[in-house]
Structure 1
Amino acid sequence: MKIDFYLRFHTRYGQSLAISGNHPSLGSNDPAQALPLQYLNPEFWYASIEVDTTAATSLHYHYVLTNEFGERVVDAEQHRIVAIGRKDSGHLVLVDTWNYAGEFENAFYTAPFRQVFFNSQKSPRLKNPKHYSHQFRVKAPLLPDQECVCLVGSGPALGEWDSANPVLLERSGDWWTVKLDVAPTDLPITYKYGIYNFKKGSFVRFEDGDNRTLYRHDEAGSITLLHDGFVRLPNTSWKGAGIAIPVFSLRSANSFGVGEFTDLKLLADWATGAGMKLIQLLPINDTSATFTYLDSYPYAAISAFALHPQYINLSKVAGKKGAAALKSLVKKQKQLNALTEIDYEEVMKYKMQVLRELYEAEGEEFSKDAEYTSFVSANGHWLKAYAVFSHLRDKFGTADFNQWKTNSVYNEAEIEKLISARSKTAKEIRFYYWVQYHLHLQLKDAVDYIHKKGIVVKGDIPIGIYRYSVDAWQAPELYHMDWQAGAPPDDFAIKGQNWGFPTYNWEKMQEDGFRWWKQRFEQMSNYFDAFRIDHILGFFRIWSIPLDAVEGILGRFIPALPVRHTEFGERGIWFDYDRYCRPYITDAVLDEVFGPLASRVRDEFLVPNSRGGYDLSPAFETQRQVEAWAASRAGDPETDTLKHGLYDLISNVLFFEEPGSNGTHYHFRISIESITSFRHLDEGLKARLRELYVDYFYRRQDGFWKHEALRKLPALKEATNMLICGEDLGMVPASVPSVMKDLGILSLEIQRMPKDPTTEFFHPRTAPYLSVVTPSTHDMSTIRGWWEEDRARTQRFFNTVLESHGTAPYFCEPWVNRAIVLQHLYAPAMWSIFQLQDLLGMSETLRRENPAEERINQPADPKHYWRYRMHLPLEGLIREKEFNTELREYIVNSGRG
């Protein structure tokens, strides 16, 4: 069979196109071996192949654009599948339309819409003609149930533009399609798609835009398949509202001092009544590294795949058979459930103890369950290593595998020995299989229930992995273990953030096509329809901090184009290595930083240098050394002041030399205006360094960082059909919005963190459609908490954004909170998602008394205890009919219901 490809695409000079597919002529799905297309005319590119139909029954293919910068962009149409084994013709003509990933309609073919919102759309049933020359295929995702796509155009086959009797299309998978016999003498023809109400038998409307044209590409006896892209209809009409809350924050009568997967059903019951369409969660992976409150941090998982045992419901595990074993826990359960906040350590202590008792009581019965064995088999790539890791963590009392007496280096053969049936450790290791299996059952059951309610679930992918995790132990080559990931300074953490995670070795990950990421997405898709990429900026560049640093302020972006040593001279800057790259410490600096403690610092921590100032003594040259010293002097009332002052001295530098560059490449320390060393320079030198600083951070890197993102994000997006949202907050490179738009990744828009540096506040009415708007996130204070933080700022917000006259209320009264929520509901964004605290803030009777108790995280505190809980149970929230009805009316009236 001969197959001709015609692709509608307007390229720029330097761009080229190719076809990648499952046939050898198309490179057998290897993009590097894709078949080049030839430029035909300003409207079409062309290629042709011969296919043996006895060896293949279907052709799967997509188009690849290589731009003028050598970057590959893949056509977003993932469902170009053509049956070729039973065609009545030996010549197939495929006329395709390039699918730009940033088209809004593509979002409606992701998991939330396919599997939940649009999974029951109806269509008329058509009789296929015995003979046909053309098949028209087009997409229209937002049609109501009683409407279908129709076709009207010139020529007898298309009804001579009679909209009263249009050609109807039927739904087939993602496409609306119809087969017609178009006489060659009738070509070319012009046509338009329209909408027809097949229930009422009436024409509704034509699509927008100019008429379409079908030229003659065929030969006698050929069949032409037209993929016409999307029907040109309004594509921003669908909007939804959602609730964001960590699972651990849920409160119910039946849970055990912490939110559990089973509580998600109650949350769904409430969300349905309130008109919500989405539930957003924080990461739910196992963080059990120390079994202390430090494990409450949900972004430091010991496995990117394993679920957290704290979310298990013991009664569900025990069933009727083991119910008696839980009777002794009733008192403890009531005690933990009555607490205002989570007691993480107590919860984990009792849950793990009871789980082990239930496991022992069950014996080996569970291992004969076909569903259990299927789960173990499907998840073996992570489950085995996780279970052995957990066993060794318990055995040696630490998750730091570097300290283990055995198995500190991962060895697959050794792992297999430990889990083999004859091993003494096998039963203990299988305990973790068993726990993960029950967690999987409970979460899957909850998600299935949520879907039946017409609600989707959105997860969260942390940007990093925990340093002492299964992932780092199993494949350390995938990470840069000699760096710490974090974030540069911002209004919420003026010294930056140090998450302690190793950074990704993207080059190594790319070698196997990002296999680890694809496995991660596959596992997430068992439970989630959408996900939030935590700190998506990390795919462009990651804030990387040396291991000897404590504060994030000592980091720099990697990768980054450095300042070359020759640039200093070119800009009239005399480069003094000691002055710029070593901590600048003088008597004036010491007095400014330490005040009356300056003389003690001179005596205990410094040595004079030849430059008229001081150097840090060898025992205190790094922040880690200072941290260790402070830990040993915890009883000294001056220790904390000295520690943070010494941290400031160590970070009082202008440049970091790039390791291995032999003095040729340098990187700026961030926040130059706040550096004492910079402020002590003369004004002329400051002006020249300031110009170089702006160039380094805001000009030279942009194209480079864009290229870095396009190496990773397209491949990762192709690996999943979940709807992807990016957390694009912070110091955002200029290329980020365009890359996210081009890939169809939703942005995050927050009122108090505008993307436009010339404005103090973002107004939700200016949000792009492919975005999520929210008044606050888990890393921020709630609306009510923020209102009380800065009186002058609140007043400006009150007068400008709320457009209210006079003096702003001192406290965030319910009507103010309500006005802010409504601004977000009426935004043009696809999604408006709220923390529960911000919704309850609209009610004088339901809101918490103290807004400070509503905050989930303090990013500036790396040892923050994540223990926020709802102050009223879900059962009680469901019964609040007046509040729920009011909220539902707001959501429905805003077009999100």
Structure 2
Amino acid sequence: MIEDIKPLVENKLSFSHWQRVGTRRRFGVCTPLFSVRSRRSVGIGDFGDLEALAEVLRLCGATILQVLPLNDLGNGDAPYGAISAFALDPIYVALDKLEWMREDKGFMARLEDARCALEALERVDYPLVRQVKSQLLREAFEKAPEDVKLAYRKFAKDNEWLIGYAGFKVCDRLSLLPAEWSRDGVVREASKHTKEMEFEFFAQYCLDSQLRSAHERLNAMGIKFVGDVPILVSRDSVDVLEHPEIFRLDLSAGAPPDMYAQDGQNWGFPIYDFEACKASSFAWWRQRLQIAERFYDLFRIDHVVGLFRFWAIPKDEKTGRNGMFVPQEEWRWGEQGRLWLETFLSATKMLPIAEDLGTIPPVCRQVLSELGICGLKVQRWERFWEGDRSFIPPSQYPPVSVATLSTHDSETFRGYYEAQGDYRRDLWQAMGKRSPPPEKATREVVQEVIKWLSDGASCFMVLMIQDVLDALGLLEGDPASHRINVPAVISKMNWSWRMPVPVEDLVSRYYRDLGSIKELVGTRAG
């Protein structure tokens, strides 16, 4: 076990990024912000909950907080389908943190009524939460004092991307039909509605201020904040409207057919035109990462293999079956992926970590290793596939990696363990157990597996919040009900799970239990 990976990364291009984060072993928790329940939030976790969540992490020895994407989803709910790669989602605004509204008794009463009604719901009701919070945010906008007005107008002036985004939002909300569907056409039409444009400036100013402030408080508590930067953007996004030249709009990204999806996958998002991005010196990507750097210390690159090559499908196809790799020439994959990643490293001080799951060509992990960028090791999928198919012991994982038990797209550890008898058997064998494995993933079983994974070689271990709560025995019922997302399935169960316990109660009632997690992770604990 290597306690400090500095000797492994000090000669890598990413070393200056590692120096900002630190090279010692760490434990972290991935918590979708929408899943956080608190005594002050309104039907969904918000930026005001991050400090309380960080206190939970501190008690269990975690020094990394990872979240899913926080970008504006428009009227959607899937965090990987944002309408803007730059704007934050107004659904996450902390309304009770708007200083000038705190003395407004009527507003605070309406906010409390909304909180009581929406917090009674088991899951996130996105349309209802958006409606309620938007109405209250607009009231705060109408009552904004002069200093706030000056601040959000300056914010808009300093962030040129906000003009096009605001125009896009206003045209959509008011069902306006610009004479020309372009950035200039949209802004020209929307600018006839000055107050509506200013509302968008105001909302983004509040969100930016709150998330930056939360980031500062997390760092003061010793917590590093990991954001998620999806590699793809929605076809119906303001980014495609403003920069169509960097996208291949005739193609959609997806995944080829495999044992899990016989027709492959078609995600509907356009792929990038690599040569066009290169010709622009990756300007759009550089700006995107520089904005994310306001909020995060590290960033997760979703679907990193797409930087090397995309599985591309003609846009009118329904499945992923009739696709091809772009570029088609395998010899170009490494050169292309390396240039993307080197560009990312030059564009931001944030340390990247890569999601390298699925069918990954060897050159992808080779380049990640050469640059000193962590890949992801999901225990259930780490086997000696070319050998006896037994599990690779965590002690043999690459030190420059992130280890975990589950992801937002998979069953929770408990769910997978209890549903898969072969997995239970092979896991127990890998852990050196001679007795038959228990059929249920009790809190004791979950804790034992966490300790086994934590004792492994990966410099980071980042667990999903559900696996941590299962280690405390706090999740009841069918574990499938605690899953975040089932890919390729349209369901209200996706992206709507919420913690059953308010974060304040985790701190006040379960602090001893959280301390037991700290003991499990040993030297990783902060």
Residue 837 of structure 1, aligned match among 462, 466, 487: 466
Describe the superposition over 1:181-228 as per-residue Cα deviations: whole angstroms up to 9, x where unpaired. Answer: xxxxxxxxxxxxxxxxxxxxxxxxxxxxxxxxxxxxxxxxxxxxxxxx
Do the aligned partners of 1:322 and 1:358 also contact (CA within 8 Å) in 2? no
Question: Where in structure 2 are the equivalents of 1:391-470 lying within 5 Å?
Answer: 391-396=170-175, 405-412=177-184, 414=185, 417-418=188-189, 424-470=192-238
Deviation at 1:789, TM superposition (A): 2.4
Distance 1:363 1:395, change over 3 A: farther
Do the aligned partners of 1:727 and 1:747 also contact (CA within 8 Å) in 2? yes
Aligned partner of residue 858 in structure 1, secondary structure: coil
Do the aligned partners of 1:261 and 1:313 also contact (CA within 8 Å) in 2? yes
State the distance in 1 between where 2:501 and 2:259 align. Answer: 32
Letter in 1 for 2:34: F
State the distance in 2 between where 1:263 and 1:873 align. Answer: 10
Describe the superposition over 1:548-582 as per-residue Cα deviations: whole angstroms up to 9, x where unpaired. Answer: 22222333221113xxxxxxxxxxxxxxxxxxxxx
State the distance in 1 between where 2:371 and 2:40 align. Answer: 43
State the distance in 1 between where 2:156 and 2:217 align. Answer: 24
Question: Where in structure 2 are the equivalents of 1:644-683 lying within 5 Å?
Answer: none
State the distance in 2 between where 1:325 and 1:360 align. Answer: 12
Distance 1:821 1:466, change over 3 A: same
Query: In the alignment, what sits opposite 2:144?
Result: 362
Letter in 1 for 2:120: A
Q: Is 1:344 matched with 2:126?
A: yes
State the distance in 1 between where 2:235 and 2:31 align. Answer: 26
Question: Where in structure 2 are the equivalents of 1:647-796 lying within 5 Å?
Answer: 701=330, 703-754=331-382, 756-758=384-386, 759-796=389-426
Deviation at 1:711, TM superposition (A): 3.2
State the distance in 2 between where 1:757 and 1:767 align. Answer: 14
Distance 1:509 1:347, change over 3 A: same
Distance 1:323 1:408, change over 3 A: farther
Question: Where in structure 2 are the equivalents of 1:833-872 lying within 5 Å?
Answer: 833-844=462-473, 846-862=474-490, 865-872=494-501
Do the aligned partners of 1:486 and 1:497 also contact (CA within 8 Å) in 2? yes
Distance 1:246 1:323, change over 3 A: farther
Q: Is 1:240 matched with 2:26?
A: yes
State the distance in 1 between where 2:383 and 2:11 align. Answer: 21
Do the aligned partners of 1:307 and 1:439 also contact (CA within 8 Å) in 2? yes
Aligned partner of residue 70 in structure 2, secondary structure: coil
Distance 1:101 1:409, change over 3 A: farther
Query: In the alignment, what sits opposite 1:274?
Result: 60
Letter in 2 for 1:473: L
Distance 1:411 1:783, change over 3 A: closer
Question: Where in structure 2 are the equivalents of 1:244-393 lying within 5 Å?
Answer: 244-288=30-74, 291=75, 295-317=76-98, 319-362=101-144, 366-369=148-151, 372-380=152-160, 382-393=161-172
Letter in 2 for 1:249: S
Higher mean alpha-carbon deviation, 244-253 vs 801-810, is at 801-810
Do the aligned partners of 1:264 and 1:446 also contact (CA within 8 Å) in 2? yes
Query: In the alignment, what sits opposite 2:287?
Result: 519
State the distance in 2 between where 1:470 and 1:819 align. Answer: 47
Do the aligned partners of 1:249 and 1:258 also contact (CA within 8 Å) in 2? yes
Aligned partner of residue 241 in structure 1, secondary structure: strand
Query: In the alignment, what sits opposite 2:16?
Result: 109
Deviation at 1:377, TM superposition (A): 2.6
State the distance in 1 between where 2:174 and 2:10 align. Answer: 53
Deviation at 1:890, TM superposition (A): 1.9
Residue 551 of structure 1, aligned match among 301, 307, 319: 319
Query: In the alignment, what sits opposite 1:803?
Result: 432
Aligned partner of residue 853 in structure 1, secondary structure: helix
Describe the superposition over 1:832-865 as per-residue Cα deviations: whole angstroms up to 9, x where unpaired. Answer: 1011111122233x23332112110101315563
Deviation at 1:756, TM superposition (A): 4.7
For structure 1, list consecutive stretches of 5 or more residues without a partner in the other structure: 1-98, 118-235, 397-403, 562-700
Deviation at 1:361, TM superposition (A): 2.8
State the distance in 2 between where 1:812 and 1:804 align. Answer: 15
State the distance in 2 between where 1:529 and 1:445 align. Answer: 14
Aligned partner of residue 833 in structure 1, secondary structure: strand
Deviation at 1:251, TM superposition (A): 0.6
State the distance in 2 between where 1:445 and 1:795 align. Answer: 47
Aligned partner of residue 749 in structure 1, secondary structure: strand
Structure with greater helix percent: 2
Describe the superposition over 1:121-180 as per-residue Cα deviations: whole angstroms up to 9, x where unpaired. Answer: xxxxxxxxxxxxxxxxxxxxxxxxxxxxxxxxxxxxxxxxxxxxxxxxxxxxxxxxxxxx
Aligned partner of residue 352 in structure 2, secondary structure: strand
State the distance in 2 between where 1:277 and 1:859 align. Answer: 29
Residue 500 of structure 1, aligned match among 264, 268, 281: 268
Distance 1:546 1:377, change over 3 A: same
Distance 1:533 1:551, change over 3 A: same
Describe the superposition over 1:429-482 as per-residue Cα deviations: whole angstroms up to 9, x where unpaired. Answer: 110000000011111111111010011100111121101000011111111111
Deviation at 1:363, TM superposition (A): 7.0
Deviation at 1:411, TM superposition (A): 4.2
Query: In the alignment, what sits opposite 1:637?
Result: none
Query: In the alignment, what sits opposite 1:658?
Result: none
Question: Where in structure 2 are the equivalents of 1:563-574 lying within 5 Å?
Answer: none
Q: Percent identity?
A: 34
Do the aligned partners of 2:59 and 2:511 also contact (CA within 8 Å) in 1? no
State the distance in 2 between where 1:768 and 1:101 align. Answer: 10
Letter in 2 for 1:312: V
Aligned partner of residue 752 in structure 1, secondary structure: helix
Q: TM-score, normalised by structure 1?
A: 0.55
Do the aligned partners of 2:14 and 2:345 also contact (CA within 8 Å) in 1? no
Do the aligned partners of 2:390 and 2:426 also contact (CA within 8 Å) in 1? no
Describe the superposition over 1:275-327 as per-residue Cα deviations: whole angstroms up to 9, x where unpaired. Answer: 11110010000001xx3xxx110000000000001101112235324452231
Matched length: 516
Distance 1:501 1:105, change over 3 A: closer
Do the aligned partners of 1:752 and 1:762 also contact (CA within 8 Å) in 2? no
Aligned partner of residue 54 in structure 2, secondary structure: helix
State the distance in 2 between where 1:755 and 1:373 align. Answer: 55
Structure with greater strand percent: 1
Distance 1:411 1:282, change over 3 A: closer
Larger radius of gyration: 1
Deviation at 1:246, TM superposition (A): 0.8
Do the aligned partners of 2:164 and 2:187 also contact (CA within 8 Å) in 1? no
Q: Is 1:477 matched with 2:245?
A: yes
> RMSD of aligned C-alpha atoms?
2.3
Query: In the alignment, what sits opposite 2:3?
Result: none
State the distance in 1 between where 2:316 and 2:17 align. Answer: 44
Do the aligned partners of 1:101 and 1:742 also contact (CA within 8 Å) in 2? no
Q: TM-score, normalised by structure 2?
A: 0.92
State the distance in 1 between where 2:390 and 2:325 align. Answer: 26
Distance 1:750 1:104, change over 3 A: farther
